Chain A
C-alpha cells in the first residue's frame, strides 16, 4: 500500500499570503495519479487538482499543483478567506489512499 504523508499538519497564515502544502508518497505514484481535495467543516470534499497539476472545473487559478514520483505540492498563491480549510492528497495509481490532511488556518 502506498502511504501518503502530508506536511505540515497545520499551516497558520494570513489572507493574501502564499500557502505551500506537501504530499510525500512511500513509493512512486504511477503516472502522477495524484489528486488534491479541499474540505470545509460539515461539507463533503471538493476536487481541486487531478493528475498532479490539472485544475478541476471551476477551481480558481490561485490553486496549482506540481510534482512527480514521490513528491507533490499544492500551492495557493494568495489565500482568500474561503481557502482556510483542510486539504487532502490522494493517489489512485495503486489502489487508493489518502494523506492524513493539512489544516490551513487563519494566523
Chain B
C-alpha cells in the first residue's frame, strides 16, 4: 500500500525557517517524481515544487523561488522541503504528492495527509 506521511509542520515566526519531511513507503520511491502542494486556510490548492526521481531536476512556483528548496534522499525514501524567509502568506497545509508519469501525464496519484505550517508576524 502506498503511503506518504508528512512531518515537521509547526508555528514559526515570519522570517524564520522550517524543514518539512515526507516519508514514503509501498512503492519504489526513486522511480517517481514528487511534488509539494499547499493549501492556505479556506483556500484552494497551489503547486509549490517538483523534483524528479533522481533528484537532478527541481522546479518551483514563482511565489517560493529563491526561498524554498526541495530535495530527496532515495536511500531513505524521503522527500524534504526547506523553507526559508517565511512569510505570513506561506501559512498553509503542505501536502507531498507522487507524480505518476507511467500514465504519460504526471498526475498526482497519491497524497499525504498534510502538515500544517503557521507563520506568525
Contacts and interface: CB of A to CB of B under 8 A. Distances in A.
Which label, helix, strand, loop or mixed, suits the secondary structure of the B interface? strand
Contacts of A45: 37, 45, 95, 108, 111
B50 interface: yes
B59 A95 contact: yes
Interface string B52-83: 00000001011000000000000000000000
Interface residues of B, number: 24
A35 B108 contact: yes
The interface size bin for chain A is: 20 to 34
Interface of A: 1, 31-33, 35, 37, 39, 44-47, 50-51, 54, 56, 86, 88, 90, 92, 95-101
Nearest to B95: A44
Contact of A50 (B46, B107, B113): B107
Nearest to B107: A50
Interface stretch (B7-15, B19-27, B84-92, B98-106): B98-106
Contacts of B45: 37, 39, 45, 88, 90, 98, 101
